[in-house]
């Protein structure tokens, strides 16, 4: 099966509230005063065309791909579903890491594998270090944990 997302760039529009820690002024943008009546997930094709591939009334927050590039995961904080995690990542085995009251880890078939309990609930997560085997968790503080599996790029 071919990779449906090969060569695509995925974008989420940023809201002013995403940068409150940088002292950015909050701007009220209710749906009835916006140019678009939805929040979306967009992709940019290799030829530069921008298309909305998902449209919601609530705000998508983060995106990640499965290691084989065949599944696009979208976290939606307001809905508290995966389409609400704040942070979302996958590892090379296809396990899904979600920042929800700590970090929960699910197998590709949806089985709960475990949970991390950092001192502060993270809002975002990312794999790092040269081998991508450290999971960094950021909230009001930065935490990290070494894993036996590398994160997916």
Taking the CA atoms of 120, 123, 129 and 131 in sequence, report the sign of the dihedral they define: positive
Find the angle CA(116)-CA(122)-CA(128) to the nearest 5 degrees: 75
In angstroms, rounded to a whole number, what is the distance separating the alpha carbons of residues 98 and 70?
Answer: 19
CATH superfamily, region 9-146? TolB, C-terminal domain (2.120.10.30)
Out of 12-26, 40-54, 72-86, 113-127, give the one with best mean pLDDT.
Answer: 113-127
Task: Give the pLDDT score at 69.
Answer: 73
Global confidence as pTM: 0.60
Per-residue model confidence as pLDDT tens digits over 112-131 = 998 988 888 888 888 999 99
Tokens for 10, please give them. 């995925």
Q: Strand 81-82 and strand 88-90: pairing?
A: unpaired
């Amino acid at each position: 099966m071919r990779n449906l997302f090969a060569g695509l760039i995925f974008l989420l529009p940023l809201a002013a509230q995403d940068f409150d820690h940088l002292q950015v002024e909050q701007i009220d943008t209710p749906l009835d005063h916006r140019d678009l009546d939805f929040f979306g997930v967009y992709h940019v094709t290799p030829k530069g065309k921008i298309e909305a591939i998902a449209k919601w009334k609530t705000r998508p927050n983060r995106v990640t791909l499965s290691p084989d590039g065949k599944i696009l995961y979208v976290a939606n904080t307001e809905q508290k579903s995966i389409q609400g995690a704040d942070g979302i990542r996958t590892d090379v085995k296809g396990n899904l890491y979600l920042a929800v009251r700590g970090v929960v880890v699910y197998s590709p078939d949806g089985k709960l594998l475990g949970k991390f309990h950092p001192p502060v609930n993270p809002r975002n997560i990312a794999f790092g270090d040269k081998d991508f085997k450290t999971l960094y968790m950021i909230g009001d503080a930065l935490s990290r944990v070494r894993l036996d599996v590398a994160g997916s790029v």
